Amino acid sequence: EQLLTLDLLADWLRRYAAIVDEHKTYLTELDSAIGDADHGANMARGTAAVLTHVDDATTIDALLKKAGMTLVSTVGGTSGPLYGTLLMKMGMATGSVVELSAEDFGKALRAGLEGLVARGKTELGDKTMVDALAPALDAYDAALADGSDLHDAVAAAAQAAAAGRDATTPMVAKKGRASYLGERSAGHQDPGATSSTYLFDALADVIGA
Ligand code: ADP
Ligand code: MG
Ligand code: MG
């Protein structure tokens, strides 16, 4: 059984930072259509700050909590506290360990998503990052329940995240700056759902899925 080790999860955050940096102009373009044109800059700043602490952690909970706190304090936009909550709640759920089973990682992700949803007062269909994250977690859990290994569960999660991200395009935003546009927010892909999908792309990359 492949485990999610401290080293692998540190690589996950490094890879996420790299993908965000590669796509920061694109993320900002998406945010310029329905927001204030800063999502790429916000996320690039936050994930770059996370990189400076990734090597320090000696347990998975410390790694994730520190990464979450760093995002809260450096991202600046609405997305910072939300991504920060996701990672902090994940860290609180894992306990002080250096490796996690695929199932326990899924439980931590679920705790993180619940924290984000509570903080964002949002639900599926509001045209936010939740529209990528929730289907990804559901696909991950379903794959494991069907007997898939970590590799296949992560591949399924990444696919579902991308489908969820794509499904935000026709949605009318109910939360965040995009909601100020009302019906005019339809026809544009949500920036946060796009950066959330990168979390699963990064995980798939480091796992080799
Ligand atoms: P800001 O809107 O403050 O400039 P960002 O541009 O960094 O922040 O992030 C915008 C993204 O945040 C949106 O695309 C959306 O996915 C997400 N978002 C906004 N409000 C919420 C919310 N209440 N719950 C979940 N996600 C949200
Ligand atoms: Mg913005
Ligand atoms: Mg902003």
Could you report the per-residue pLDDT of 84-101, keeping only the tens digit for each? 999 999 999 999 999 999
Spatial separation of the C-alpha atoms in residues 65 and 34, rounded to whole Å:
31
Looking at ligand 1, which residue's alpha carbon is closest to its atom 6?
A: 39
Domain residue spans of the chain: 4-207
What pLDDT shows up at residue 56?
A: 94
At the topology level, CATH places domain 4-207 in 1.25.40
- Which residues, 6 or more positions from 150, have their beta carbon under 8 angstroms from its beta carbon? 1, 2, 3, 4, 102, 105, 207
Confidence class of residue 194 from pLDDT cuts 50, 70 and 90? very high
What pLDDT shows up at residue 53?
A: 94
Residues flanking ligand 1, CB < 6 Å: 31, 35-36, 38-39, 42, 77-79, 82, 120-122, 128-130, 175-177, 190-193
Per residue in 131-190, pLDDT (tens digit) is 999 999 999 999 999 999 999 999 999 999 999 999 999 999 999 999 999 999 999 999
Tokens matching residue 103: 């199932």
- As a whole number of Å, the CA-based R_g of the chain is 16
Residue 157 CA to ligand 1 center (angstroms) comes to 21
Which ligand has its closest atom nearest to the C-alpha of 77? Answer: 1
Which ligand has its closest atom nearest to the C-alpha of 75? Answer: 1
Burial class (CB in 10 A: 0-12, 13-18, 19+), 188: buried
